[in-house]
C-alpha cells in the first residue's frame, strides 16, 4: 500500500475522531504523532551521526567492531583537532534542531548520551588538553592487535587493512612529539613501558604471517617497508621519551593532579551521577564507616575459629589481623591464571541454577594472559567486542605474576586470596563485566551500546558481587562475606582516594595508609592503586557511584512491587537498556 504523507496522517488522525470522544483525546492523538515525528527525525539523525563519527574516529570504530575504516590511522595533529571540533559544532547544531521534549524516553536517553559525548570531546581538546601532557595516549599497538588477532574477516583482508594503517605510523609519532608539552612524569614513564610493548605486536612474527599470506608480492614488500618504518618510528618515540624523562627529572614535571575545577567538570561529563564529585566523596565517607562496622561484627563472629588469644579492643586492628590470617589461603603464583580459568564454569552454573540471568552459551568468555602492550595499569580486565562484531571473542585478561619479585607476588596473592579471587571473577567476568557487555551488544539502541556510561558498566560489576552473595553463592560463609566487605570497601575507598589525591592533594604515604589501615589492603595492592590514581582521574569513582545507584534502584523497585518483584526480570530489564547512565535507566524502569 502506498504510504500517506505524514501531514495527511496527522489530519486523518484528528478528523477521524467521533463526536462522542472527549476533548482530551485529540490532544493525546496529537502528542502521539508529534512523538512519532520527533523519534523518526532523531533516528535518522542518529544513523547519520554514527557514520560521521566513525569517519572522524576510525580507531574508535575499530574497537567497536565497525571495520570499514580499519586501514585509516588518523594523525593526531592540529588539523585533526580542528576537524574534530568542527564535527562537534556541526552535530551540536543539528542536535538542537530536534525537539527533545517530544522524544520517547528511550530516544531521549540517546539524545542526552550524544549531547554529553560531544561536550566531552570538545572539553578534552579545548580545556583538559590531555593530548599535551599525557604521552601514553599515543600508542598504535592496540589497534593493530585488534586487526591482526581478530576473526571478523579473512586474514588476508585484515592484513591488507593493517598495511594501509601502517602508512601513517611515522607521521603519527611525529605529531605526538610535536603535541607533547609539560607532561607528567607518571604518564611519561607509562608511555615508555607501553611503547616498548608495541613490539609484541609489530614484530618478525607478523612479517612471517604476511609472507605466508595470499597478499601479492608487491604488497608483501610494501608491508615489510612500512613495518620497518613503523618500528623505527616507535623506537624514535621511545628515545624521545627517555630524553624527555631525563629532562623532567632535572627540571621538574607537571603535577599529575588536576585540581578541583577540572575534576568537577570531568566528573560531571564522565560519571553523570546527578551529584557533584564532592557530594559523592562525602557519601563514600559515611558508607566506609558502615562497612567497617559490618566487618567488625564478622570478625567478632570468626575470632575463636582462628585465634586462641583475646581479640584486640581496637576493632580495626582485629579486622586487620583476621584478614591477614585468612589471606594466607591463596594459590601459588604459577597457578594464579589457571585458577581463574577453573572458576569460570562454577560461576556460570550458579547463575543458571539460581535463574539470575541468561548466560548465552554462544558468547564464550576466553581467559588469557594480558597482552604486553596492555600491561601496567590493571591486573585484570575484560576486552569485549563491539555491537558490530558480536561474534568475536570476549577476553578476560589476567596478568601473570612472572615479572614480580617473590615479596611482591606474595603480597599480591594475599590480596587475591582464596575468597577474594572468587569476588574478582564475579566482578570482571560472570555475571559482572562479561555478562553486562554481552547484553549491551544486544541493545536495539546503537547509541547506548557504543557510547556507554562507565559508571553504569563498573557499577553493574560491583552490584553483581553483592547480589551473588545475597543469593547464596559461597553458602553465606562468613569468611567470604568478610572478604566481600573488604572488596566493597575498596570501591568506596576508590572514590575517597581519587577525590583526595586529585583535589585535596593527598600524598603517597597518606594514600597507602588509607588503603592499608582503613581498607585493609595489602601493600602491593595499595601501591598499584596509587599508581592507577596518578594515571587516571575520576574513573576510580565510577565503581561506587554506579553500584550505589543500581542497588538503590533495585531496593526501590522491590519496595514498590512487593511480591511481584522478580530478580531475573529486574536484571534483564536493567541490562536491556545498554550501557546508559543509571539515572536515565532509573527513569525508564520507574515509569
Strands, E assignment, 37-114: none
Tell me, what's the pLDDT at 21?
A: 44
- Report the residue count for the chain: 591
Show the cell assigned to 527: 601501591
Q: Which residues partner with 254 through β-bridges?
A: 184
CA distance 27 to 17: 11
Q: Which H or E run contains 374?
A: none
Q: Are 491 and 519 in contact (CB under 8 A)?
A: no
For 97, other C-beta atoms within 10 Å of its C-beta total 8
CA distance 300 to 328: 19
Tell me, what's the pLDDT at 373?
A: 67
Tell me, what's the pLDDT at 222?
A: 98
Spell out the long-range contacts of 259-262 with Cβ–Cβ below 8 A and sequence spacing 24 or more.
259/502, 259/503, 260/503, 262/127, 262/128, 262/537
Q: Are 351 and 431 in contact (CB under 8 A)?
A: yes
Q: Are 396 and 434 in contact (CB under 8 A)?
A: yes
Q: Mean pLDDT in each 10-residue stretch from start to end of the chain (591 residues)?
A: 38 37 59 87 95 96 92 98 98 95 90 96 98 97 92 94 98 98 96 94 96 97 98 98 97 97 97 94 97 98 97 96 95 91 93 93 83 70 76 84 87 90 94 90 83 94 97 97 95 97 98 94 87 96 96 96 96 91 90 80
CA distance 223 to 507: 48
CA distance 212 to 202: 16
Show the cell assigned to 526: 595499595
CA distance 542 to 549: 11
Q: Is 559 exposed, middle or buried (0-12, 13-18, 19+ CB in 10 A)?
A: exposed
Could you tell me which residues come within 8 angstroms of residue 155 by beta carbon, excluding any fewer than 6 positions away? 209, 213
Q: Are 13 and 29 in contact (CB under 8 A)?
A: yes
Tell me, what's the pLDDT at 152?
A: 85
Domain ranges of the chain: 6-14+25-56+77-133, 141-256, 269-590
Omega cis (within 30) before 372: no
Pairing mode, strands 394-398 and 365-369:
parallel
Tell me, what's the pLDDT at 376?
A: 63
Amino acid at each position: 500500500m502506498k504510504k500517506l504523507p505524514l501531514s495527511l496522517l496527522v489530519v486523518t488522525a484528528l478528523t477521524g475522531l467521533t463526536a462522542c470522544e472527549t476533548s482530551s483525546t485529540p490532544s493525546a492523538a496529537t502528542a502521539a504523532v508529534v512523538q512519532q515525528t520527533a523519534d523518526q527525525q532523531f533516528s535518522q539523525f542518529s544513523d547519520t551521526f554514527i557514520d560521521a563519527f566513525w569517519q572522524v574516529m576510525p580507531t574508535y570504530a575499530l574497537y567497536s567492531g565497525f571495520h570499514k575504516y580499519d586501514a585509516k590511522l588518523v594523525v593526531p595533529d592540529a588539523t585533526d583537532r580542528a576537524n574534530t571540533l568542527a564535527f562537534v559544532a556541526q552535530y551540536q547544531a543539528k542536535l538542537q534542531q530536534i525537539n527533545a521534549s517530544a522524544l520517547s524516553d528511550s530516544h531521549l536517553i540517546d539524545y542526552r548520551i550524544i549531547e554529553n559525548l560531544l561536550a566531552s570531546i570538545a572539553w578534552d581538546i579545548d580545556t583538559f588538553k590531555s593530548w599535551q601532557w599525557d604521552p601514553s595516549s599515543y600508542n598504535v599497538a592496540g589497534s593493530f592487535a585488534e586487526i591482526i588477532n581478530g576473526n571478523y574477516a579473512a586474514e588476508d583482508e585484515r592484513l591488507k587493512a593493517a598495511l594501509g594503517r601502517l602508512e601513517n605510523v611515522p607521521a603519527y609519532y611525529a605529531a605526538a612529539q610535536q603535541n607533547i608539552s609539560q607532561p607528567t612524569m607518571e604518564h611519561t614513564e607509562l608511555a615508555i613501558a607501553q611503547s616498548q610493548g608495541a613490539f609484541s605486536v609489530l614484530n618478525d612474527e607478523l612479517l612471517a604471517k604476511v609472507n605466508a599470506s595470499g597478499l601479492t608480492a608487491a604488497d608483501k614488500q610494501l608491508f615489510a617497508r612500512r613495518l620497518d618504518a613503523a618500528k623505527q618510528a616507535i623506537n624514535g618515540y621511545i628515545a624521545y621519551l627517555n630524553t624527555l624523562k631525563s629532562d623532567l627529572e632535572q627540571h621538574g614535571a607537571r603535577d599529575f593532579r588536576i585540581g578541583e575545577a577540572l575534576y568537577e567538570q570531568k566528573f560531571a561529563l564522565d560519571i553523570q551521577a546527578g551529584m557533584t564529585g564532592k557530594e559523592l566523596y562525602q557519601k563514600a565517607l559515611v558508607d566506609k564507616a558502615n562497612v567497617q562496622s559490618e566487618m567488625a561484627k564478622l570478625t567478632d563472629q570468626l575470632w575463636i575459629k582462628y585465634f586462641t588469644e583475646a581479640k584486640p579492643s581496637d576493632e580495626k586492628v582485629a579486622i586487620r589481623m583476621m584478614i591477614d590470617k585468612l589471606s594466607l589461603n591463596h594459590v601459588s603464583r604459577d597457578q594464579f591464571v589457571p585458577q581463574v580459568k577453573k572458576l569460570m564454569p562454577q560461576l556460570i552454573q550458579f547463575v543458571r541454577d539460581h535463574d539470575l540471568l541468561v548466560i548465552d552459551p554462544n558468547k564464550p568468555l576466553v581467559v588469557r594472559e594480558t597482552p604486553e602492550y596492555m600491561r601496567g595499569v590493571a591486573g585484570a580486565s575484560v576486552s569485549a567486542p563491539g555491537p558490530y562484531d558480536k561474534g568475536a571473542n570476549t577476553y578476560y585478561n589476567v596478568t601473570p605474576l612472572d615479572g614480580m619479585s617473590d615479596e611482591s607476588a606474595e603480597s599480591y596473592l594475599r590480596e587475591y586470596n582464596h575468597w577474594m579471587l572468587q569476588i574478582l571473577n564475579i566482578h570482571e567476568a560472570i555475571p559482572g563485566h562479561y555478562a553486562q557487555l554481552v547484553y549491551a551488544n544486544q541493545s536495539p539502541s546503537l547509541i547506548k551500546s557504543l557510547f556507554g556510561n562507565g559508571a553504569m558498566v563498573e557499577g553493574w560489576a560491583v552490584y553483581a558481587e553483592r547480589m551473588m552473595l545475597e543469593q547464596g553463592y559461597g553458602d553465606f560463609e562468613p569468611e567470604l562475606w568478610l572478604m566481600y566487605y573488604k572488596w566493597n570497601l575498596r570501591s568506596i575507598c576508590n572514590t575517597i582516594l581519587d577525590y583526595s589525591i586529585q583535589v585535596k592533594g593527598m600524598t603517597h604515604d597518606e594514600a597507602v595508609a588509607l588503603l592499608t589501615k582503613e581498607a585493609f589492603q595489602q601493600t602491593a595492592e595499595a601501591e598499584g592503586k596509587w599508581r592507577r590514581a596518578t594515571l587516571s582521574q575520576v574513573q576510580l569513582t565510577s565503581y561506587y557511584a554506579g553500584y550505589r545507584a543500581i542497588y538503590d534502584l533495585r531496593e526501590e523497585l522491590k519496595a514498590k512491587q512487593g511480591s511481584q518483584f522478580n530478580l531475573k526480570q529486574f536484571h534483564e530489564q536493567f541490562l536491556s537498556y545498554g550501557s546508559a547512565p543509571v539515572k536515565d535507566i532509573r527513569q525508564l524502569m520507574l515509569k
